[in-house]
Amino acid sequence: MAADNSRATAALDEALKPFQERASEAEIRIATLEALLSNIDVLNNGSETSSSAMKDLQSKLDAVSAECLTEKEKNKKLIMENEKLQYRITHLIRAIKEAESR
């Protein structure tokens, strides 16, 4: 009876061998997929961090650009005001010279 049991066990092992091989291959494929998924998650987290940093930099750039435009407008107004004052000074100097020559 022990010989029958060992033969039955051997036959069962032989019958299950293809299934065990397929299960082993499936486990390897699952492990590979899990590793790839883990890498994708790491990359996504990295890209989210990069995306967040890019958004932060873009908002800072936009703020600086707006500030730059404001400063350009102020400079333009100051230049115009300076030109007006120089014009007035020129006419005042001319008027003083005319008054002195009389």
pLDDT of res. 25: 86
Report in angstroms the alpha-carbon separations of 100 from 88, 90, 93, 96. 18, 15, 10, 6
pTM of the model: 0.45
DSSP letter, residue 102:
-
Q: How many CA atoms lie within 13 A of 52 on its CB side?
A: 6
Q: Per-residue pLDDT tens for 8-56?
A: 777 777 877 888 888 888 888 888 888 877 777 666 666 666 777 788 8
The sign of the CA dihedral 45, 46, 47, 53 is positive
Report in angstroms the alpha-carbon separations of 84 from 11, 78, 81, 87. 108, 10, 5, 5
For the segment 73-95, the average pLDDT, to the nearest whole number, is 94
% of the chain beyond a pLDDT of 70: 86
